[in-house]
Structure 1
């Protein structure tokens, strides 16, 4: 995959197919997954609380929990569906690219279902293996409202 605009769709497909190990491999060693509590208004993950700010180690722990057959929160298993608008390159410099992708996200478990919307921003770095995520930022629409428990990855 040479065009970074294809990245978000490939990532979403892996998540929707529950291929969490393959998804985790898309992160650079210094990669982070960030869901700001204040949405797009939040400048960084350090000056205010976040819904999630996880490095690769924490992401690996979440993936292992999701795969564990004894994980109570996954009986029945959660499933997701990402509906994406086309990604737009906001900036590209050398071996780095910044993508912006508006989305709808549905997560279902048993009889329950949640719907979230927002914009994902990927900061990608090109490696010999292809594009990798340095940071995935998920700005939820109306982020500060009370949210249900999100089991998977937006």
Structure 2
């Protein structure tokens, strides 16, 4: 178990700036810039949310079922595919707007921080007047490296038990 201590304001500011820049890269479809924010030992998971009664104990999220379970290499392949004619789920491309809030930062060691944040993502496509809203919490580990902060781990805990979108071809 990693001991966590309160993050100094400079680390909090750097981690919040990282999340805001990441949202901008994704909303602006600057996927190569976004990929540069990821550590090569990345673990990126979106577990399935479970419905439990008040009397049941345990996590609200599956440890075996995932909407997404990715690493750096699979993310690199997904980004590369987006620039080809084979990205069918993103043709036409999604228009997204991400809101990131409630950022909380704790130190995990000298150069790593645990970062929790809430997010809301609006997504629309083509000329369709309908849209998707995805909401949840992200539990990240960021590492300060020579070329800046990098995302090492992301666990996305969606508020939804059923995802309100036809596909999950966007990055959360």
What's the TM-score, normalizing by structure 1? 0.87
Partner of 1:76: 92
SS of structure 2 residue aligned to 1:145: coil
Query: CA–CA distance in 2 between the matches of 1:10 and 1:86?
Result: 16
The match for 1:118 among 132, 136, 150 is 136
Partner of 2:48: 37
* Correspondence 1:19-38 to 2 at 5 A: 19-38=30-49
Cα distance in structure 2, aligned partners of 1:133 and 1:34: 13
- What residue ranges of structure 2 are gaps of 5+ in the alignment? 1-9, 51-58
Aligned-residue offset at 1:146: 4.6
Query: SS of 2:154's equivalent?
Result: strand
TM-score (norm: length of structure 2): 0.78
Equivalence map 1:1-150=2 (5 Å): 3-38=14-49, 41-42=60-61, 47-110=63-126, 111=128, 112-142=130-160, 144-148=161-165, 149-150=167-168
Give how far 1:152 is off. Answer: 1.1
Structure 1 residue runs without a partner (length 5+) = none
User: Contact conserved, 1:42 with 1:48, CA < 8 A, in 2?
Assistant: no
Corresponding residue pairs, total: 150
SS at match of 1:118: strand
Distance 1:63 1:115 in 2: 22
Q: Equivalents in 1 of 2:90, 2:113: separation in Å?
A: 35
**Equivalents in 2 of 1:108, 1:48: separation in Å?**
30
CA contact (8 A) 1:6 1:87 kept: no
Deviates more, 1:86-95 or 1:101-110: 86-95
Helix, strand or coil: the match of 1:48? strand
Deviations 1:107-128 (A, max 9, x none): 1112142101111121011111
- Structure 2 distance, partners of 1:9, 1:86, is 12
Q: Cα RMSD (Å) of the superposition?
A: 2.1
Bigger drift between 104-113 and 94-103 goes to 104-113
Local SS of the residue matching 1:151: coil
From the CA coordinates, give the structure whose radius of gyration is larger: 2
